[in-house]
């Protein structure tokens, strides 16, 4: 059993309040949870308006499956947000 984790940093220049940011984060997290079987949450910079840091984790049987899940989730996030992805960290344990 392997655990794949990833941290995605997104710049959202149109967000001007924490309330707007919370709506964006909740939307992204709900869409990812509904489409993929992963755990996802906002993990850092919760008090900064225009920076969103989302972390997610998935469990898989082998490395290729774990990589595939992470790639699909990252592509989905990139395609379903108006923000610019400015950083991605990934790890498989």
Per the structure, the count of domains in the chain is: 1
Q: What's the pLDDT at 36?
A: 93
26: Cα within 13 Å, side-chain hemisphere: 6
Do 11 and 50 meet the contact criterion of CB atoms below 8 Å apart?
yes
Position 61 confidence tier, pLDDT thresholds 50, 70, 90: very high
How many of the other CB atoms lie within 10 Å of CB of 52? 24
Q: How far apart are CA 83 and CA 45, in angstroms?
A: 16
Task: State the residue range of the domain holding 15.
Answer: 2-92
User: Which residues on neighbouring strands pair with residue 42, listed in sequence order?
Assistant: 54
Q: How far apart are CA 49 and CA 26, in angstroms?
A: 14
pTM of the model: 0.89
CATH of residue 70's domain is 3.30.70.1120
Per-residue pLDDT of 6-49, as tens digits, reads 999 999 999 999 999 999 999 999 999 999 989 999 999 899 98
Tokens standing for residue 34: 């509904």
């Amino acid at each position: 059993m392997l655990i794949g984790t990833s941290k995605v940093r997104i710049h959202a220049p149109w967000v001007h309040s924490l309330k707007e940011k919370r709506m964006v984060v909740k939307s992204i997290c709900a869409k990812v949870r509904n489409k993929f079987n992963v755990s996802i949450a906002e993990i850092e910079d919760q008090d900064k308006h225009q920076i969103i840091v989302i972390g997610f984790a998935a469990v898989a049987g082998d490395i290729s499956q774990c990589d595939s899940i992470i790639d699909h989730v990252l592509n989905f996030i990139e395609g379903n947000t108006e923000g610019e992805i400015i950083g991605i960290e990934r790890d498989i344990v």
